[in-house]
Amino acid sequence: MQAVPAVAGEELSLIASALAAHRTITVHCEPNLAVSALSGLLDKHRAAVFHFAAYGAGEASQLQAAPWPTLQELGIDPQTAGAELSRSNVQVAVLNCGGSASLPASGDRPAAYQIAAQADAAVIGMAGRIQPYSAALFATVFYSRLAIGAPVVKAYYQGARAVRSHDTYATMGSIPVMYARTSNVIPFPTGEARAHLSFRQTENHVGRLGRELASLADMSRCDPAEWAVRIADPAIRIEGITEYLSALTAARPPTGTDPARYRRRVERARDELAASLRASRQNLFRLSDYAVPQNQRDAAQAQLRLRRLELERILMNLRLLFEDTL
In whole angstroms, give the CA distance from residue 112 to residue 245. Answer: 38
What domains appear along the chain, each with residue ranges and CATH number?
6-179 (no CATH), 191-325 (1.20.1420)
In degrees rounded to 5, what are phi and psi of residue 120?
55, 50
Backbone angles phi, psi at 317, to 5 degrees: -60, -45
Does pLDDT of 118 surpass 70? yes
Tell me how far the alpha carbon of residue 75 is from its chain's centroid. Answer: 31
Q: Among candidates 45, 106, 22, which has minimal Cα distance to 71? A: 106
Is 88 within 8 Å of 47 (Cβ atoms)?
yes
Would you place residue 227 in the very low, low, confident or very high pLDDT band (cuts 50, 70, 90)?
Answer: very high
CA distance 274 to 232: 19
Report how far residue 283's alpha carbon sits from residue 10's, in angstroms, rounded to the nearest whole number.
Answer: 60
Q: Is 31 exposed, middle or buried (0-12, 13-18, 19+ CB in 10 A)?
A: exposed
Indicate whether 247 pLDDT > 90: no
Q: How confident is residue 35, by pLDDT bands cut at 50, 70 and 90? A: low
Mean pLDDT value across the chain: 82
| Distance linking the first and last C-alpha atoms of the chain | 37
Give the pairing of strands 49-53 and 92-96: parallel
pLDDT of residue 124: 93
pLDDT at 2: 31
Q: Quick check: helix, strand or coil at residue 52?
A: strand
Considering only CA atoms, which of 225, 217, 240 is closest in space to residue 307? 217
Q: How far apart, in whole angstroms, are the C-alpha atoms of residue 100 and residue 71?
A: 7
Quote the CA–CA distance of 10 and 104 in Å, as a whole number: 28
Residue 325: what pLDDT?
58
pLDDT in tens, 124-160: 998 887 777 888 889 889 988 888 777 888 889 999 9
Rounded Cα distance between 257 and 262, Å, is: 7
Does 68 score more than 80 pLDDT?
no
What is the per-residue pLDDT for 264? 92
CA-based nearest residue to 317, from 244, 281, 264, 257: 264
The pLDDT value recorded for residue 63 is: 36
| 152 contacts 184 by C-beta, under 8 angstroms | yes
What's the average model confidence in pLDDT over 8-28? 77
Rounded CA separation 91/185 (Å): 8
Secondary structure letter of residue 4 according to DSSP: P
Q: How far is CA 37 from the centre of its chain?
A: 28
Core vs surface per residue 273-298: b (16+ CB within 10 A) or e: beebbeebbebbbbbbeeeeeeeebe
